[in-house]
Amino acid sequence: MLKLGVNIDHVATLREARYCGRGFGEPSPVEAARVCAAAGAHGITAHLREDRRHIQDRDVWELREKIATRLNLEMADVSEIVAIALKVRPEIVCIVPERRLEVTTEGGLDVVAVEKALTETRLKMNDAGVEVSLFIAPDEKQIAAAARTGSQFIELHTGQFAESFGDERKREVQLQHLISGAQQAHALGLKVNAGHGLNCENLPAICRVPHLVELNIGHSIVSRAVFVGFEKAVNEMLALMKGYRL
């Protein structure tokens, strides 16, 4: 069964637009996570950025305390955030590249360039009982390097696929990259997640990618929830995922 992880970052984005730096405010990303979990989401994803633009430290601790479902902490491989993750102990961390000026994560990790550092972080996380995923493009060299780090998962960056979705030829090229990447990762013993830019329109096509364990989807679910609520937004996405076959 293909699992759904709901990223609740942009609930915090809305809160911080009004209550930035005040230590309280609405809407609550933790309450959004609770509703999503009750609606059938298999996991909750939150990205604790270095600049704390949306999710705050208190959110991560409250998610850990109040949400029973799988917690996926997205994070950069920097000492401050690594230390927090080792204390919080989510079920899994997804290590992503992070640039201060980007609106959202713009690309995958260059695992080849920082393989040693990622391997060291992976060891620390695994020693603490935390699984590790690396957010990467469907690139042969990056996938091979991800396997060498000993990480349990990769998360394939589906952003280029999503951006090209309106052009049938480009969409098919990007989809084939994802299919090949998933096949390579599976052959190397990696579990495969995917995410970035996925929505109700493009999700049926992404279901052609084999060996997927979980899709991590945030912005489109939060956007849909503005009109229909989180329960229905999650259920709509789960319905589209229901027929997935490995």
- Indicate which residue of 98, 157, 196, 214 is catalytic: 196
Q: Where are the domains of the chain?
A: 3-241
- Indicate which residue of 10, 74, 177, 214 is catalytic: 74
Stretch 188-196: mean pLDDT: 98
Helices 219-228 and 230-241: angle between axes, nearest 10 degrees: 130
140 is catalytic: no
Task: Give this prediction's pTM.
Answer: 0.94
**pLDDT score recorded for residue 160:** 95
- The candidate with the shortest Cα–Cα distance to 233, out of 28, 36, 7, 11, is 36
**pLDDT score recorded for residue 201:** 96
**pLDDT score recorded for residue 101:** 53
SS (H, E, C) 128-167: CCCEEEEEECCCHHHHHHHHHCCCCEEEEECHHHHHCCCC
Please count the CA atoms within 13 angstroms of the CA of 168 that sit on its side-chain side.
Answer: 0
**pLDDT score recorded for residue 212:** 98
131 is catalytic: no
Q: Which CATH class is domain 3-241?
A: alpha beta
47 is catalytic: yes
Whether the upstream peptide bond of residue 29 has omega within 30° of 0, thus cis, is no
Among the ranges given (4-13, 28-37, 208-217, 237-246), the one the predictor scored with the smallest mean pLDDT: 237-246
Mean pLDDT of the chain: 95
Task: Report residue 21's pLDDT band, with 50, 70 and 90 as the boundaries.
Answer: confident
- Indicate which residue of 10, 47, 54, 177 is catalytic: 47
**pLDDT tens sequence across 26-52:** 999 999 999 999 999 999 999 999 999
Return the ∠ at Cα 50 (arms to 121 and 182), rounded to 5°: 50
Q: Which helix (H) or strand (E) holds 63?
A: helix 57-66
- Per cent of the chain over pLDDT 70 is 97
**pLDDT score recorded for residue 243:** 85
Residue 205 has pLDDT above 60, yes or no: yes
For the chain, how many helices (H) and strands (E)?
11, 8
**pLDDT tens sequence across 49-100:** 999 999 999 999 999 999 999 999 999 999 999 999 999 999 999 999 986 5
